[in-house]
Amino acid sequence: MGEPTGFMKYERELPTRRPVPVRLRDWKEVYEPFPDSHLERQAARCMDCGIPFCHVGCPLGNLIPEWNDLVYRENWSDALDRLHATNNFPEFTGRLCPAPCETACVLGINEDPVTIKQVEVAIVEHGFTAGSAQGDEIAPVVPSVVTGKKIAVVGSGPAGLAAAQQLTRAGHAVTVFERADRIGGLLRYGIPEFKMEKRILDRRLAQMAAEGTEFRVNANVGESVAVADLQSDFDAIVLAGGATAARDLPIPGRELRGVYQAMEFLPPANKVQAGDLAEHPFSAAGKHVVIIGGGDTGADCLGTSHRHGAATIHQFEIMPRPPDARPDANPWPTWPMIYRIASAHEEGGERVFAVNTECFLGDEDGNVRALRAHEVEQTFTDGRMSFEKVQGSDFELPCDLALLSMGFVGPQRNGMLEQLGVDFSERGNVARTEQWHTNVDDVFVCGDMGRGQSLIVWAIAEGRSCAAAVDRALMGETDLPSPITPDAAPMGVR
């Protein structure tokens, strides 16, 4: 523990976000740089409380008090080692994780918690910064043994990448198959540039390629790549294809032009930024945009629509507005269901809670021109939640671009999964044993494909744990870490 009274001396401090009018003119990340001297003070706020609940809040089991202490002592190099011991990609989580560690921080019981996520990203950025004392620390970790085993990883999101890096470093020959034209899964084509610039992803992929992981893009397993070929050519297959089946809104007018899924809207926006597309095929520029779904994907559509120059933007959510502070039924250290303001919300648009969309209205050419909605009241019968219409609350809103952001129902079943003949769980995800094994010989599953829609930190934890199971299955034993079991869940109240 660096400074015993640090938590009493220093206030929580975060980097400032760039001014809205400035950041809306570009797609760069929204945060200003945060000086090391400030960061070291933030690390000094860690109390080394004895039973660090932050470890449990983080699915990776990140060694948070250890690296806080090392950062306080300006020992960035050892801090990086401790960070990489549990997390393959801290530069992704340090930018994108909602930080359940911070809501479990013991200081957070009666004070503002330690800025764990900020310390995390600062450590890894130190490691990547060319020319610094640590500039070459994130060099490829080339395996010292070659096992002769071949492993196919299907899907290149954070779960597939974490599994691939662990297995490559264990000496196996790993090939990642990705049906998209670039590697990265939702890190590449879901998350907008203003949340994580893609150069951050590319530099980690360069490290992985140098370690020996092979990447194949435009390789759709079950279509352009035969499932049978994978089964005959590889000793094990890791399915990490994500939960890509989006929840739909089957209401009148759904078929109108201008009503799209969020994941039809976000990937082309990223392709424009990458220079792969000249312009977005249905940009929000000048349009009345309604985003249906109040979550993070909706916020990504919001920030993207702002940058396109939308005329108006409304974000609809059927749930009531959450409280500003933890309700009693949602105590520390569980994840608090409170009102949150993402950077995109600061940039404008109107958030509308407790509303339900009844239908989309079209013009004579089949384009959406408006939607009809009403307010709802949340009710519970025998513990089951439902929504009652508030009589007389109907309204119509101009809308020439509607973006559906209501989450994902599970993995895509047709194609690869049907051809393999995998079983599904009650929740509709690919079923697996405690050893991450599907019902099909030598086929394992991790990430959103087995867990359902989740978070990057869980995907990395799944990829690491699944890699350990694959290594054990192929070699009889493993030294790879396994931070979670397949049925691990966020901390909750029982």
Positions that interact with ligand FAD (CB under 6 A):
96-97, 154-160, 177-180, 185-186, 190-191, 195, 219-222, 240-242, 244, 266, 296-297, 300, 415-416, 447-449, 454-457, 459
Q: How far apart are CA 118 and CA 341, in angstroms?
A: 18
CB under 6 A: which stretch of 23-31, 57-65, 222-230, 345-353 binds ligand SF4? 57-65
| 81 and 476 Cβ atoms separated by less than 8 Å | no
Q: Are 150 and 164 in contact (CB under 8 A)?
A: no
Phi, psi of 289 (to 5 degrees): -100, 135
Q: Outline where 10-113 has alpha helix (H).
A: 20-23, 36-43, 53-57, 64-72, 76-84, 90-96, 100-103
Pick from ligand SF4, ligand FAD, none: which does 116 bind, CB < 5 to 8 A by kind? Answer: ligand SF4
Q: Interface with ligand SF4 by CB under 6 A: which range of 52-60, 284-292, 297-305, 400-408?
A: 52-60
**Parallel, antiparallel or unpaired: strands 173-177 and 150-154:** parallel
For every residue of 160-189, DSSP letters joined together read HHHHHHHHHHTT-EEEEE-SSSSS-THHHH
**Which one of 114-122, 142-150, 415-423, 471-479 is the stretch in contact with ligand SF4 (CB under 6 A)?**
114-122
Where do the DSSP E strands lie in 319-442?
A: 350-353, 355-362, 368-381, 384-389, 395-398, 401-404, 408-410
DSSP 8-state symbol, 430 = B
- Please choose which of ligand SF4, ligand FAD, none residue 60 contacts, taking the beta carbon within 5 to 8 angstroms, the exact cut-off set by kind: ligand SF4
Q: Does 196 bind ligand SF4 (CB under 6 A)?
A: no
Would you count residue 97 as binding ligand SF4 (CB under 6 A)? Answer: yes
Minimum distance from CB of 43 to ligand SF4 (Å)? Answer: 13
Residue 101 binds ligand SF4 (CB under 6 A): yes
Asked whether position 40 contacts ligand SF4 by CB under 6 A, the answer is no
The reply to whether 108 sits near ligand SF4 by the rule CB under 6 A is: no
The answer to whether 462 contacts ligand SF4 (rule: CB under 6 A) is no
Among 23, 41, 82, 117, binds ligand SF4 (CB under 6 A): 117
- Closer of 93 and 175 to ligand SF4 (Cβ): 93
Residue 96, contacted partner among ligand FAD, ligand SF4, none, CB below 5-8 A by kind = ligand FAD
In sign, the C-alpha dihedral spanning 278, 405, 154, 474 is: positive
**Cβ count near 119 (within 10 Å):** 26
Q: Report the partner that residue 416 touches, choosing among ligand FAD, ligand SF4, none (CB closer than 5 to 8 A by kind).
A: ligand FAD
Rule CB under 6 A: is residue 96 a binding residue for ligand SF4?
no
Range 438-457, binding ligand SF4 (CB under 6 A): 457
Of 37-45, 112-120, 253-261, 280-288, which segment contacts ligand SF4 by CB under 6 A?
112-120
Q: What's the Cα-to-Cα distance from 161 to each of 166, 201, 235, 314, 358, rounded to whole Å? A: 9, 11, 18, 35, 41
- Using CA atoms, how far apart are residues 291 and 95, in angstroms rounded to an integer? 24
Question: How many chain residues touch ligand SF4 (CB under 6 A)?
Answer: 14
